[in-house]
Amino acid sequence: MRSGARARFGSHGRRQAARIRCGATAMSQLLEQLIQALRVLPGVGPKSAQRMAYHVLERERDRGQRLAEVLAAAIARIGHCRRCRDFSESELCAICTSSGREANQLCVVESPADRTAIEQATSYRGLYFVLQGRLSPLDGIGPRELGLDALAERLAEGEVQELIIATNSTLEGEATAHYLGQLARRHRVRPSRLAQGLPLGGELEYVDRSTLSHAFGSRVEIGESDHAQD
């Protein structure tokens, strides 16, 4: 449409088109781009994004510059740990390379935020595996996308004795837990699941520390018939 408008109306057409894109206000194109870019953040709608953009330009230019630099560096340099899939700047993360962790316990979480929540709320000293998601066939997220082939290889190494399944208690989290339980049993690893106190449908990262600590401490071994889908 844009090229057609330009050909037909020249610079007047361009101004018209820009006005249509900006709505009623004559906003700088770059400012509009900044507002759109800020909306990538969770929970940030158009009004919040606009407030943030004005705030940075009016009062926080230096720190805004710092934010832009750190954001660019983080995106360029932070990848995933080869062993646990958590975020890491190096090939292996600090937890995977630590000599102070118990290698016979492996806790599976959906996200790095869940791993952090468990680290902060409990005294767990084992290792982690971060799925970076949950099984969701409708969204095209299957075992391969969650790195479960790598997890299976790790269980086959024979060092892990307990697989602590700390996926969220949502429908997809439970389906993922079911799959992980079967995977563990196939490799003769004991699967356990965080037990009491976690709200149904809740996301681990938002559960308060004492509840999470209690649920982690009172985890139970899961058997063949513990899931509705068995």
Examine residue 96 and tell whether it contacts Zn ion (CB under 5 A): yes
b/e per residue 71-87 (b: at least 16 CB within 10 A): eeeeeeeeebbebbbbb
Stretch that binds Zn ion, among 16-24, 25-33, 77-85, 106-114 (CB under 5 A): 77-85
Examine residue 81 and tell whether it contacts Zn ion (CB under 5 A): yes
Least spacing, CB of residue 13 vs Zn ion, in Å = 55
Give the one residue of 49, 52, 53, 83 binding Zn ion; rule: CB under 5 A. 83
Examine residue 130 and tell whether it contacts Zn ion (CB under 5 A): no
Residues 7 and 12: their CA atoms lie apart, in Å, by: 10
Examine residue 93 and tell whether it contacts Zn ion (CB under 5 A): yes
Examine residue 84 and tell whether it contacts Zn ion (CB under 5 A): yes
Least spacing, CB of residue 11 vs Zn ion, in Å = 56
Between 89 and 139, CB nearer to Zn ion: 89
The 8 Å CB, 24+ separation contacts for 110-113 are 110/134, 110/167, 110/168, 110/173, 110/176, 110/204, 111/205, 112/86, 112/87, 113/205
Least spacing, CB of residue 133 vs Zn ion, in Å = 17
> What order of strands is seen across the sheet that includes strand 126-130?
126-130, 102-109, 162-165, 190-193, 220-221
Q: Enumerate binding residues for Zn ion (CB under 5 A).
A: 81, 83-84, 93, 96
